[in-house]
Structure 1
Amino acid sequence: MSPLDPTTHVLVDWALAIAAIAAAGVYGTVGVTLLTDLRFWPPGDADWKRRLHWTFVTAYTIAMAVVAVADWNGWMLARPISLAVGAPIALAGGAVFHRGANAMRTAEVAGVTGDLYTDGPYAYSRNPQYVGIVLGMLGATLAVNSAVFALLAALHVGWVLLLPIAEEPHLRSAYGEEYDRYAERVPRFVGRETLRRLGREIAAGDSRATSE
């Protein structure tokens, strides 16, 4: 670990300022959705709400990238173990996220009502994209090895855990009992049913391989 040089320190300070504004925007709009009758998330057909949310998220992501580069390996985690463990977790999180995202159309991710997805990754978790983000943030935190990055990752995970809670009233309104039945059998993120289903899939795959 080594202290940041003055120029890098200023860069990190600016990144933190941008991240703070962006995080306040995301938490603020999600909080308004949760606590009032106004709905900012999911934005639905309101293009300006969608643009507002993704402007905040994009700014926050850029700030995290700046911190990752500027404060790389600036913390106390043991090297190379943290990198060797963190990188595969981050890649796995990215794979889970993209598999969940590819199963839905962009408009449906944003809350424009379409089909209720219950197959593929959505048979294991109601929010596989968010599970992927959480895994990705955990892996990236280990790989980057920066206390500042860890703080930003924790804030990111915090709003990711709130987003589905904000989405569920819209989903129940749109799909009614169909969504209620889905929610009863599939966990919001990951649960025992997720592990059971994965176990059954693995066992079935082994059985097919043995029979061949």
Structure 2
Amino acid sequence: MGLFLTMEGPDGGGKSTQIRLLAARLGECGIRYCTTREPGGTPISDKIRAVLLDPSHGEMAPKTEALLYAASRAQHVAEVIRPALARDEIVLCDRYIDASLAYQATGLDLSYEYVRRLSEDATDGLWPTRTYLIDVPVEIGIERVCKSRGLGLDRIEQRDLTYHQRVREQFLEIAASQPDRVLVLDGTKSTAEVAEEIWQDVRRFL
């Protein structure tokens, strides 16, 4: 069976960059891997992603958002993640269940247990072996996103700082409650420093 690793954290933490760097390092070592993301990762899931992130869908109800994320995740796990793990690959996923617990449950004031059950039903209880939580203060993260994306912020990124602060706090609560799975990294450090910390931890699983 392969190894399932996820990257989480507030927007602007550098998750996507760290996945690319880790994938390159695994490739250099001749280790088979699969990189993917949420929402998305499959043709069906990508269509759901487009609906979820479209800024024109401001009327979307919180429960609708949570259900769409779960639907996208169910297809993603069935079509991409479980098959890759069955091939003994290392799966590197940009966001997963923890993101729903932070962004939809806490961020949108939905029941934490409802969103957790929904996600576990969608994935048949598949959790990552290790989650790297790249933490940055909300103001820094949003500033980074705005610099890289300009006015092209998606529907979630456009929410106010109070929302994003609740999201960050929930991520940190998850990490504190599950230290054996979640490793918190300081996203204000240089990209190279964070990448090296992740690599040294990943080596323990190889």
TM range (shorter): 0.3 to 0.5
More helix, by proportion: 1
Structure ranking higher on relative contact order (CA contacts 8 Å, 6+ apart): 2
Q: Give the TM-score of the pair, scaled to structure 1.
A: 0.32
Larger radius of gyration: 1
Q: Give the TM-score of the pair, scaled to structure 2.
A: 0.33
More strand, by proportion: 2
